[in-house]
Structure 1
């Protein structure tokens, strides 16, 4: 049985606080930290390892520090995007893990190999069995309305408020780019409209849609697809190895773990940076849906590989970045 949401949140926040203390003490001789049963910090020197142990965390001495892995990410992000690839710093293996899907063959694979070779042991290449794709096809489903020329379906992320502006909801940017008028049913009456400048993709993957005066009630909560809902009171950044859940209109509620932070993904539609990587499944139509932990909003569904029959990997846009961009709050 999993601990209650409040207990998980307390444990996560405690681990986060300890990570901050350890990072301050170690800088620049550390290579990340992860929260599990016990906080693990990756020092690069014996002196730093002693400080970690004294602070109550578990040291695991590694070769590459944070600045080295960050520089590796900068190099990869500056390279020509190769659709079907993704990369993320992984403290568990002390490398930047590069993922390539089955479409990366021939000239694309040669291009990727050319990019990775100079980086040597700082990178690790992994292959997936399914294509890396955006989940555009939606929490609760949202559809292109009766005045929209696009009949796409996505998922509502989080309901938000902004000072002096209409109530609104967040969803994925690759949804907001294509559909600017939303309804609760396919081709139904408009309930919300994406304002000018209200969608950001590629680079980011978030959008905002402002509710019309006659829109249905929109409390700050997430549909759990069991007849109940999870209230959302605040927003924060993800913590590596924490337990999280996501909700989407195609596959409902699914849970898993945060397996990476600051991931870059090269979709066919464009590159997105700064994403959260998880081992949670998702499918087309789940795009834009909420990633959360207890009452905390964490992210918006972007895309990934696999499905909810065989399992998969899903990437999420951090919600704090989206809230900041639009001057919005949850709860």
Structure 2
């Protein structure tokens, strides 16, 4: 988000940010606000523990997921039959069960390798390219196809068998009439520009403040226009200077600079009346299926939902050709054209920037997908807030490495 006058917006504390997200959690899962808040604190506090579990069982690990119903717990899915006893961890002021399931047919590493190595063959085996990714809940390579493909090829079960033989890992075919697209040109702020090719005005959303060690900038999606103007909530324009864009394979990121230094803040409400500090960065490796994350897009506003697929490769050639399986999907129904480049976050932790979405035939959002901030182009890194929230001055910033 570009710099604003110091008193223009209310800046949240870390607790304020969690309270706002907990309100969405409580609404979606039908739990009291205080329980929602405890669970979100646990989600953040448990990362080091689940990372340690992932490291310990790396050779057997099919996936780690967050369960929200009927109770809150973490589920670790492993290959092999050797049992691992359940445990309980203290996180966020509550005790959270961790259960271990065995019997997965392939490890996460093996499924990701299969997507990478066999992506071209899987695309060639079907009438049109599918999207695909890892479901950590089931340890399967999920392949998403349309109804017409399923009907023409003998149904999902027949395609399952064919693709499992091809990829050598368990496959789950999901039938969904959808179209994967980059979210059209429309952290959490409004960008606008005119496309010289067609003379039309397009919109995008800003993501996070970044630094290369000597200057600061703001991110958006690479497929947005290069010549963009930032508009604050009062519609005051700030011309931007284009630094560069990276849009191949596993990248969809563009960086601009403004006249003033960037601040590590993002808008966290639909109306852009609340600023939220960015204090940390979540890596892709530490992200779990079921993590509750939020995003703000210029078209869809503020909303929250669960992470679904990891190591996702969209169906269309959205990355200068086929995309690598590096993207992360988040459940709909809130995404629209114009959200491209917007921030994905939970509390005051940054996860990534929105690239695109999968839409159903009726135009509704099935899910959106984002680029992890792990893939910020060197030497750029995330700016984070290190100032106490009681400080009335501008927050200071430090860099978080890739």
| Alignment-derived partner of residue 326 in structure 1 | 380
Q: Larger radius of gyration, structure 1 or 2?
A: 2
Secondary structure in 2 matching 1:89: strand
Deviates more, 1:286-295 or 1:308-317: 308-317
| Alignment-derived partner of residue 222 in structure 2 | 173
| Alignment-derived partner of residue 210 in structure 1 | 256
Secondary structure in 2 matching 1:267: coil
Secondary structure in 2 matching 1:170: strand
C-alpha displacement of 1:87: 1.0
Q: Which runs of 5+ in 2 are unaligned?
A: 1-25, 27-32, 90-96, 386-402
TM-score by length of 1: 0.81
C-alpha displacement of 1:24: 3.1
Pairing of 1:133-212 with structure 2 (within 5 A): 133-138=181-186, 139-144=188-193, 151-165=201-215, 167-175=216-224, 179-184=225-230, 191-195=239-243, 198-212=244-258
TM-score by length of 2: 0.68
2:302 counterpart (253, 261, 265): 253
Q: Which runs of 5+ in 1 are unaligned?
A: none
RMSD: 3.6
Establish whether residue 77 from structure 1 lines up as the match of residue 112 from structure 2: no
Establish whether residue 295 from structure 1 lines up as the match of residue 348 from structure 2: yes
Change (3 A) 1:147 1:233: farther
> Does the 8 Å CA contact 1:76/1:115 hold for their aligned counterparts?
no
> Does the 8 Å CA contact 1:62/1:94 hold for their aligned counterparts?
no
Q: Distance in 2 between matches of 1:316 and 1:263?
A: 10
> Does the 8 Å CA contact 2:264/2:384 hold for their aligned counterparts?
no
Pairing of 1:1-331 with structure 2 (within 5 A): 1=26, 2=33, 7-8=38-39, 10-36=41-67, 37-47=72-82, 49-50=83-84, 53=87, 57-64=98-105, 65-79=107-121, 85-101=130-146, 117-119=165-167, 122-138=170-186, 139-144=188-193, 151-165=201-215, 167-175=216-224, 179-184=225-230, 191-195=239-243, 198-213=244-259, 220-226=265-271, 227-237=273-283, 238-269=287-318, 270-273=321-324, 274-280=326-332, 281-306=334-359, 310-322=364-376, 326-331=380-385
C-alpha displacement of 1:51: 5.3
C-alpha displacement of 1:321: 1.8
Figure out how many residues of one structure are paired with residues of the other and give that number: 320
